[in-house]
Amino acid sequence: MPRNFAGPSAGADSGSVRAQAAAAQAAAVGAREMATQAKQATDSMGESMAGMSAAQQQLQAQVAALSARLDTVQLTPGPAGDPGRSVELRTTSTAVQWRQTGGVWADLVALAAITGPAGEKGDTGAAGTPGSTGAAGAAGPKGDTGATGPQGAQGPAGTPADMSRVAALETSVASLILSVTALQAASGKLAAGQATIPALLLGATTTVQVPLKPALPDSNVTAAALVVGGVNVLSTVGVQSWTVVSGSRVDVVVKATGVLSAGAAQVLVIATRP
């Protein structure tokens, strides 16, 4: 950006002229005083000057005439001059330039002439303190559900199960669970129990009361129930829900599904205290 430097104003010119006039007036007054003093000195010489030469007398007359002229000098300030134009400076990519306001820009000094050599590279500063972890961004939109894959080929027909052997295996597992439970019950935090499910018609439900052994101190227990034994190829008995009645009993709701009624199945319950 250009920078302005104001030139002399009309007020400044007027003040300068007045100052010069005052200085001239003071000089005139001083000259007049000197002439007066010279005349007085000449007069005081009196009779001793009677025999001075014609040249001296002529000089005395000139001094007297000069003194008389100085008494009539009047100094009048002249008219104010035109104010000067301001000076502007600017920097281009190659030089510092100047001009008077409204004039043409001209180079004042080339930047290359006032630009020193590049300084040495400074030392690497110390590493700054790591910034805090930013907040987690918002979760992106849920993607579209992919297309359903083709249906797989049907597998080969399985060999019919020997249901009696399956029932025997489940009974054995139940017995093993009860045996393990009996060993852990000594801590007072685990108990188990089983009860037989009566024969049920298709879709029928019933509540089986399962006693826990050993009995736990209170009902603040977590229980799990499952059906074992009594498996029939045409029927199924499943656990619907269970309720901890006390530390010594859990009621289990079971339901029969299938074609025929089922029987000889048992409900196994495991209960634990925190």
Residue 158: helix, strand or coil by DSSP? coil
Any domain includes 121: no
Among 27, 50, 70, which residue terminates a domain? 70
Count the domains in the chain: 2
DSSP single-letter state for residue 146: P
Give the SS3 label for residue 35.
helix
Q: Cβ neighbours of residue 249 under 8 Å, at least 6 residues apart?
A: 193, 209, 210, 211, 212
β partners of residue 244:
250
Backbone phi, psi, residue 260, to 5°: -110, 165
In angstroms, the Cα distances linking 223 to 145, 188, 249 are 38, 15, 10
Tell me, yes or no, whether 219 lies in a domain: yes
Q: Is residue 83 part of a domain?
A: no
Domain containing 236 — which CATH number? Answer: 2.60.40
Residue 208: the pLDDT is 92
Domain extent for 204: 163-272
State the pairing for strand pair 3-5/87-91. Answer: antiparallel
Contacts of 111 (CB under 8 A, 6+ apart): 91, 93, 94, 95, 96
DSSP character at residue 39: H
Peptide bond preceding 214 in cis form (omega within 30 of 0)? yes
Find out whether 203 and 255 touch, Cβ atoms under 8 Å: yes
Hey, is 178 helix, strand or coil? helix
Cα–Cα–Cα angle for 10, 15, 17, rounded to 5 degrees = 95
Q: Give the residue among 240, 246, 252, 226 at the shortest CA–CA distance from 170.
A: 226
| Three-state SS at 91 | strand
If you search the block for the tokens 């920097």, which residue do you land on? 91
Rg (CA), the chain: 65
Query: Would residue 104 count as lying in a domain?
Result: no
Question: What is the rounded distance in angstroms from the CA atom of residue 86 to the CA atom of residue 99?
Answer: 9
CA distance 51 to 225: 165
The last residue of one of the domains, among 16, 35, 70, is 70
Domain stops at, among 44, 70, 96: 70
Residue 190 lies in a domain: yes
Residue 135 placed within a domain: no
Q: Please say whether the beta carbons of 185 and 170 come within 8 A.
A: no
Q: What is the pTM of this model?
A: 0.35
Tell me, yes or no, whether 45 lies in a domain.
yes
Residue by residue, pLDDT tens for the chain (274 residues) are 555 544 444 444 445 556 666 666 676 666 677 767 766 666 665 545 555 567 777 887 887 777 777 767 666 777 777 777 899 999 999 999 999 988 999 999 999 899 888 888 888 888 888 988 888 888 888 888 888 888 888 877 655 555 555 555 556 666 666 665 555 555 668 888 989 888 877 788 899 999 988 888 888 888 888 887 765 545 577 889 999 999 899 999 988 876 555 556 788 898 888 8
Number of C-alpha atoms within 13 angstroms, CB side, residue 62?
6
Residue 93, domain member (yes or no): no
